[in-house]
Amino acid sequence: MRKILPYLFLIGLLTGGCELFQDEILPEDGFTKIYNHPDEVLAFYPESVLELDEGGYIFVSAVKDETSEIEYPSTYVVRTSASGEVEWTMAYDWLAPCATMIQTGSGIAFVAMNQQFEAYAVSIDPASGAETGQYALDLTMPLAAYTAENDQLLVLGYDFVTRSSWISKFSSSFVLERSTLLPINTDLEYEVQRHLNRTGQEYPFFIGEYNTNEGAGYFVNCFYNYTLRTVFLDLASLGAEGSIFAFRIEEGISSLVHKNEGIFGLTSYFEGNNYILPDTELSLTSSQNIKDFDSEALYELTFKAPVEALILNSDTADYELFVSQTNSNSLVIYQYAMDSDSLLSTIYKDFDETVEVKDLIQTGDGGIAILSSIRILGKYRRPLLVKIPAESFIPEE
């Protein structure tokens, strides 16, 4: 099921028209790494990054081989040191891996599918990348995965038989605990397939959780009732309690983070433009239209820009972060206060080539790591990992 591919070359500072690195020099506890591969027919679509307890990072990418007869991308995992240097790489025959990478005790796992579209959790040894187990998840076409605070795993899939979004919850040992189907009421299998094989629009499917004085639950961004919706699910039953809808599948929420009680921060897109609502009260038990909320346009972001959101915790204060990419080939970080919609800072990391954000995590030292893709020479899609230190998020007095 697996094989070693040629190692990734870690690109150094290039010269002339091939310049890819930002101009500034990051502090010692930050870095920018671009990972190349000698095979020009491979395109890497980074999916998820995880910081390891023993130090360093591990990230998974979907890899498309333009010469392959298999339509869907395979899986590629890279482990790095704490400074981003490659320690090992491994390729797997599992198809269309989806975020998020899962930490299971002393092991690591990812969710992907076989050639029959059946979803599996695949565990690997973080020391070597060797596959240590595979667990059938009894759903098809996995689109998103999420590890809850209690180590339960939630997976979003698409059921092409009933034309429904399929959400299942598993124990930390991948035993099915509960599942639910959300009827889409129309056939979107073609759109899902194009999302999975990277030939069409990539939709912002994601899963998260919230906890308020009135109760706890999950939110899932998925197709439901003809539209791309954010659906709030009951913690125990996974029953749909409320949702935020937009116009069919042409617009929708691109990121969502819970701040406190009924207050959330979110971003959305419509007709190519992007919008931000950093401090918005939502109803968790009713149906709402995204157009009913006041939002601020983010015209500098790319068309239907993917956005990653995070609550950054520190010893002195917590902050709300939104990370995306601009039309001028920059990664951009919007830092907001937790108790208001006040924008505290905007941080840019400039590149000479197109970048696209895919994942965002807080690191153990209080900084962040951003997993993205970058187009080397404008055509070779490769992984990009940026580590930004905690000092970058301390507001000036």
Q: What residue spans of 120-255 are helical by DSSP H?
A: 189-196
State the pLDDT confidence band at 397, using cuts at 50, 70 and 90: low
User: How much is the average pLDDT of 282-307?
Assistant: 93
| Cα separation values, 206 from 239, 333, 379, Å | 17, 20, 28
Q: In this predicted structure, what is the pLDDT of residue 313? A: 94
Q: In this predicted structure, what is the pLDDT of residue 18? A: 29
Q: In this predicted structure, what is the pLDDT of residue 394? A: 86
Q: Is the pLDDT of residue 17 over 90?
A: no
Whose structure tokens read 């690997």?
A: 124
Q: How far is CA 103 from the centre of its chain?
A: 16
State the DSSP H helix or E strand holding residue 323, giving kind and residue range, or none if neither. strand 318-325
Residues 357-393: pLDDT tens digits? Answer: 999 999 999 999 999 999 999 889 999 999 999 999 9
Question: CB under 8 Å to 282, separation ≥6 — which residues?
Answer: 242, 244, 262, 263, 264, 288
The answer to whether residues 11 and 29 touch, using CB atoms and an 8 Å cutoff, is no
Cα separation of 242 and 222, whole Å?
13
Judged by average pLDDT, the poorest of 10-14, 91-95, 166-170, 291-295 is 10-14
Q: In this predicted structure, what is the pLDDT of residue 99? A: 77
Q: In this predicted structure, what is the pLDDT of residue 67? A: 87
Average pLDDT of the residues of the chain: 90
Q: In this predicted structure, what is the pLDDT of residue 247? A: 82
Q: Is the pLDDT of residue 9 over 50?
A: no
Question: CB under 8 Å to 226, separation ≥6 — which residues?
Answer: 184, 185, 186, 248
State the pLDDT confidence band at 164, using cuts at 50, 70 and 90: very high
Token representation of residue 229: 């919706």
Q: Is the pLDDT of residue 177 over 50?
A: yes
Residues 199-246: pLDDT tens digits? Answer: 988 999 999 999 998 889 999 999 999 999 999 999 999 999 999 998
Q: In this predicted structure, what is the pLDDT of residue 28? A: 52
Neighbours of 334 (CB within 10 A): 21
**Among 11, 15, 73, 28, CA closest to 387:** 28
The answer to whether residues 3 and 31 touch, using CB atoms and an 8 Å cutoff, is no
pLDDT more than 70, % of the chain: 92
Residues 105-140: pLDDT tens digits? Answer: 778 999 999 999 999 999 999 999 999 999 999 999
State the pLDDT confidence band at 66, using cuts at 50, 70 and 90: confident
The answer to whether residues 290 and 273 touch, using CB atoms and an 8 Å cutoff, is no
Q: What single string gives the DSSP state of each residue in 89-146?
A: EEEEEEEEEEEEEEEETTEEEEEEE-TT-EEEEEEE-TTT--EEEEEEEEEESEEEEE
Task: Taking the CA atoms of 25, 26, 29 and 33 in sequence, report the sign of the dihedral they define.
Answer: negative
- Whole-structure pTM value: 0.91
The answer to whether residues 50 and 25 touch, using CB atoms and an 8 Å cutoff, is no
Q: In this predicted structure, what is the pLDDT of residue 1? A: 43
State the pLDDT confidence band at 13, using cuts at 50, 70 and 90: very low
Query: Which has the higher per-residue pLDDT, 330 or 6?
Result: 330
State the pLDDT confidence band at 338, using cuts at 50, 70 and 90: very high
Cα separation of 127 and 170, whole Å?
25
